[in-house]
Amino acid sequence: MKKFFIVGIILIGLAVFAWLYFTGEKKDPNILTLYGNVDIREVNLSFRISGRIVKMPFEEGDQVKAGQVLALLDKNQFEDNVNESKAETIVKQAQLDELLAGTRPEQIAQAKANVRERKSTLANAEKLLEKNKLGYEAKVVSLQEYQNTQTQVKEGKARLSSTEEVLQEAINGPRKETVQAAKANLEAAKANLSLSTKNIYYTKLISPSNGVILTRVQEPGAVVSATQTVYALSLNEPKWIQAYIDEVDLGKIYPGMCAEIKTDSYSDKVYKGQVGFISPVAEFTPKSVETKELRTDLVYRLRVIVKDPEHQLRQGMPVTVNLYLNNGKQNEKTAGKN
């Protein structure tokens, strides 16, 4: 009876072992399994200039494409600035053209005539001075009259010198410094025009990438300043899994290594991906990833870039990542194609 009891226990043990062996989860030594969470980039969209919003056609949850106009500012003020800048540019261009053209022949002729007139006036004053000098020596001209004539000659010489300088400037044309200043003024006017024109373009808030509107922060009619958030956008690409790996397994992985990702939400679907960034710095495992015991271990953070054409993965979703260790050559070829 005792023998039958022992045999029965052995048979039961063998049955339990067989059941566990065939039905239990067997760990494949060629598969490295990691656990992590989906990470999606978000961007706060804002205008580059201040203004009043006149249009916001998208709501939260709407899909948008790269290049789509998400919001518009009132551009009347900016159009006025463009017209003013255009007029200023025309004026500065005309001033420069006038300097580069030089002095007109009529102006030079007028300057020469003024010189001849001053020379004639000076010659008459000098003759009168000679006459009054003789008269003063002969006691027929007073000292006051003689001195007045001397003053007239000095003034005549000064006027002639000034007129001759004007003539020489007319012949030489504008100074280089004056031309350079006019050119600088023209370039400044053109820069203002360019900025005013760009501001017209900046009245449009354009989506930088394909994505989903997460938050509609403002409403039409609101006056916003530059860099003030109008929409919060969740980008469709890139998506990655943020996971952690022990130092013992760190040498088994490399950038470009193929990966398969599974989620509890879509348990029958496998997402393809590859290892991207591997942190060179060790850190403690975050509380959201592992058990309390494992949180005290030092691990290395890595990112697994995942392909999600149907946009089923959501921010923070827990996932399981399988890395295959026995097909290194295949991984290298796949990484090269990607």
Long-range contacts of 128-131 (CB under 8 A, 24+ apart): 128/152, 129/153
pLDDT one-digit tens code per residue, 266-312: 878 899 988 988 888 887 666 554 444 445 567 888 889 888 888 88
pLDDT one-digit tens code per residue, 74-126: 999 999 999 999 999 999 999 888 887 776 777 777 877 887 888 888 888 88
For residue 143, the Cα-to-chain-centroid distance in whole angstroms is: 82
Mean pLDDT value across residues 161-183: 79
Angle, CA of 15, 18 and 22, to the nearest 5°: 145
Domain spans, the chain: 26-40+238-337, 44-75+200-232, 82-197
Peptide bond into 238 cis (omega under 30): yes
Task: At 98, list the tokens.
Answer: 């006038």
Given its phi and psi angles, is residue 102 left (phi above 0), alpha (psi -120 to 50 degrees) or beta?
left
- CATH number of the domain located at residue range(s) 44-75+200-232 in this protein: 2.40.50.100
pLDDT of residue 90: 94
The CATH number of domain 26-40+238-337, selected from 3.30.465.10, 2.40.30.10, 2.40.30.170, 3.30.300.30: 2.40.30.170
Q: pTM for this one?
A: 0.59
